[in-house]
């Protein structure tokens, strides 16, 4: 019997693991397929407090893991496949093992949203990408399109200018949603270009990979084609909550519903990070909610065992 299973190993899961291990819960973190979470796909994090010069996303994840392990957290390179949260103890099935646990923290994060247009699936890995950090290197002196107008599109677009000769942002509005500081950097970068009020309606290519995109102007409905060697898609994320369908309350977009103490609709099940956050989605807010979830999980387990500190 485990005290606490933490699902996910991004900033929310690892921060929860740090706090829970310091409460002597000996939590186990089921890391999932992307150990370290989404930050490992970010080259440089400039807004995580404590790193005035910035820190690599992968490096930050490694540091967080090391800190949690120092206090007794166990990290398993495994993935959860099924859960039963209908009764105590909760059952958690992974690819390798069956667990029983008193409490659960869900920090399974979110995955990139797809455009769902013809050619997207077909050319994924052959010119369509959701990760500039992973694939940018392959676009030396090439021309690429970035879809989206948020922080990710602009930040990753700027990163791509290190390699590509031209980076064209295609956005469905006539201005960006991204932070002013990123917009200013993009404005001052001569490799960046923009196509406004437009969506990608098809990814075009041949046996050698992506050759361009078909664009639709959302104001005039006119269509055109635009040559490109790659398409990077940054149109937001969808929460990874399929495992919890019909077991936990979610909003219409699939985000888990939590209260201020990170409690979900089932007592003893807490959630933290992007899986329950449709608004902020920052590494630092994820780490914060991970800490809250762990503090509350510790209280829940103490109560369950009749060891709660009076009034706490
Ligand atoms: P986001 O802020 O949700 O932006 C998604 C963008 O994609 C929006 O511009 C949206 O258009 C567009 N979009 C959505 N669906 C679309 C579709 N079907 N077709 C075409 N365009 C579509 O997502 P994000 O940029 O990934 O950022 C997520 C969170 O991470 C944010 O909170 C952000 O602040 C944070 N983040 C921060 C940094 C940083 O601080 N450096 C870096 C990366 C991410 P509309 O504008 O019309 O809605």
CA distances from 299 to 9, 65, 117, 267, 306 (A): 22, 23, 47, 12, 10
Domains of the chain, CATH where assigned? 2-111+237-304 (3.50.50.60), 114-233 (3.50.50.60)
Residue 312, pLDDT score: 64
Cβ-based neighbours of 217, under 8 Å, separated by 6 or more: 197, 198, 223, 224
Q: Kind and range of the H or E element at 216?
A: strand 209-217
Residue 215, pLDDT score: 98
Rounded-to-integer distance, Cα 6 and Cα 13, Å: 6
Largest CA distance in the chain: 68
From the candidates 134, 227, 251, 259, give the one annotated as an active-site residue.
134
Q: Which residue among 152, 159, 273 has the greatest number of ligand 1 atoms within 8 angstroms of its CB, and so is best to mutate?
A: 152
155 in catalytic set: no
Cβ-based neighbours of 70, under 8 Å, separated by 6 or more: none
Cβ-based neighbours of 218, under 8 Å, separated by 6 or more: 172, 197, 198, 199
78 in catalytic set: no
Cβ-based neighbours of 256, under 8 Å, separated by 6 or more: 106, 239, 241, 244, 248, 249, 250, 264, 271, 275, 276
Residue 250, pLDDT score: 98
Ligand 1 center–CA 298 separation, angstroms: 35
Summarize pLDDT for 163-204 with one digit per residue, the tens: 999 999 999 999 999 999 999 999 999 999 999 999 999 999
Summarize pLDDT for 118-136 with one digit per residue, the tens: 999 999 989 999 999 889 9
Q: Which atom of ligand 1 is nearest to the CA of 115?
A: 18
Summarize pLDDT for 255-309 with one digit per residue, the tens: 999 999 999 999 999 999 999 999 999 999 999 999 999 999 999 999 999 887 7
């Amino acid at each position: 019997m485990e005290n606490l299973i933490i699902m996910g190993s991004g900033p929310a899961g690892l921060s929860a693991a740090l706090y829970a291990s310091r409460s002597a819960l000996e939590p186990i973190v089921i890391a999932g397929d992307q150990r370290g979470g989404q930050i490992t796909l970010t080259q440089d994090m400039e807004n995580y407090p404590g790193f005035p010069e910035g820190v690599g996303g992968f490096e930050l994840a490694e540091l967080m893991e090391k800190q949690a392990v120092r206090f007794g957290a166990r990290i398993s390179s495994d993935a959860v496949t099924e859960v039963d949260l209908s009764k105590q103890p909760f059952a958690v099935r992974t690819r390798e093992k069956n667990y029983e646990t008193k409490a659960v923290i869900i920090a399974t994060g979110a995955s990139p949203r797809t455009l769902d247009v013809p050619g997207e699936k077909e050319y994924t890995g052959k010119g369509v990408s959701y990760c500039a950090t992973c694939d940018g290197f392959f676009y030396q002196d090439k021309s690429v399109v970035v879809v989206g107008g948020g922080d990710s599109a602009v930040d990753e677009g700027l990163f791509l200018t290190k390699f590509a000769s031209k980076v064209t942002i295609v956005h469905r509005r006539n201005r960006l949603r991204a932070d002013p500081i990123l917009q200013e950097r993009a404005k001052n970068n001569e490799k960046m270009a923009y196509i406004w009020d437009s969506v990608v309606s098809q990814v075009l290519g041949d046996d050698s990979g992506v050759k361009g995109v078909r664009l639709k102007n959302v104001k005039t409905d006119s269509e055109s084609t635009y040559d490109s060697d790659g398409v990077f898609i940054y149109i937001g994320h969808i929460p990874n909550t399929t495992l919890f369908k019909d077991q936990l309350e979610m909003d219409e977009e699939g985000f888990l519903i939590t209260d201020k103490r990170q409690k979900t609709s089932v007592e003893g099940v807490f959630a933290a990070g992007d899986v329950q956050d449709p608004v902020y989605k920052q590494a630092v807010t994820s780490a914060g909610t991970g800490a809250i979830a762990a503090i509350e999980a510790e209280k829940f387990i103490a109560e369950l065992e009749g060891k709660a500190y009076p009034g706490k």
